[in-house]
């Protein structure tokens, strides 16, 4: 048996239900939404803002697809602003944790962002108890940026510049 076909694809309005289902998984919203299931409007806003980010920055929202297994095994988002720093957010279905997909999907999108040349820095943050997320950031080569205070408690941010980033660190997932 050979491995499943795994790839990223741009999210579209038709994916709202799938994305919202993923955001409402308790292990996902525990850290993402301060331990409360997010409202449907959050998902709509993510899709709308991703379209805007895609127009103005090498940002956007992508779905992790594992053919014959999961049409929305994860999402990865890059959000931009006038500072030209991009915020990286990655979410993975707990049923596929431990397979390296979070790292590979984030790395693949970071390659895309840095190759476009419209950003010099990407950062990500997480609540202190979210050690899995810190592991992903460190595997990506990100360095400690600062301690932060989120609404539900302390967290940390990590960052990486285009000069520090190694595009060959992991095999990228195809983006379709």
**Domain contains 175:** no
Tens digit of pLDDT for each residue in 150-175?
Answer: 887 899 999 999 999 999 999 999 99
Instruction: Let me know the angle formed at the C-alpha of 84 by 136 and 41, rounded to the nearest 5 degrees.
Output: 70
Tens digit of pLDDT for each residue in 31-55?
Answer: 776 677 888 888 888 888 887 777 7
Task: Output the pTM of the full model.
Answer: 0.91
Give how many domains the chain has, as a whole number: 1
Beta bridge partners of 121: 85, 161
**Domain contains 170:** no
**Domain contains 1:** no
Give SS3 for 51.
helix
**Domain contains 77:** yes
**Domain contains 167:** no
- Looking from the CA of 112 toward its CB, the CA atoms found within 13 Å total 26
Q: Which domain holds residue 19?
A: 6-161
**Domain contains 61:** yes
DSSP letter for 175, please: B
Average pLDDT over the chain, rounded to an integer? 90
C-alpha span between 154 and 96 (Å, rounded): 27
Tens digit of pLDDT for each residue in 80-137?
Answer: 877 778 999 999 999 999 999 999 999 999 998 998 787 899 999 999 999 999 999 9
Instruction: State the CATH number of the domain containing residue 39.
Output: 3.40.630.30
């Amino acid at each position: 048996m050979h491995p499943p076909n795994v790839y990223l694809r741009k999210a579209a309005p038709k994916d709202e239900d799938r994305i919202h289902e993923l955001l409402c998984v308790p292990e996902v919203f525990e850290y993402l939404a301060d331990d409360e299931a997010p409202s449907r409007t959050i998902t709509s806003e993510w899709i709308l803002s991703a379209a805007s980010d895609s127009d103005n920055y090498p940002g956007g929202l992508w779905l992790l697809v594992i053919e014959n297994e999961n049409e929305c095994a994860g999402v990865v988002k890059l959000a931009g602003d006038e500072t030209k720093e991009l915020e990286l957010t990655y979410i993975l279905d707990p049923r596929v944790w431990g397979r390296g997909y979070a790292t590979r999907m984030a790395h693949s999108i970071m390659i895309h962002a840095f190759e476009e040349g419209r950003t010099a820095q990407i950062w990500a943050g997480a609540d202190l108890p979210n050690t899995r997320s810190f592991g992903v950031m460190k595997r990506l080569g990100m360095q400690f940026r600062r301690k932060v205070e989120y609404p539900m408690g302390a967290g940390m941010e990590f960052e990486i510049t285009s000069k520090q980033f190694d595009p060959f660190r992991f095999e990228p997932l195809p983006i379709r």
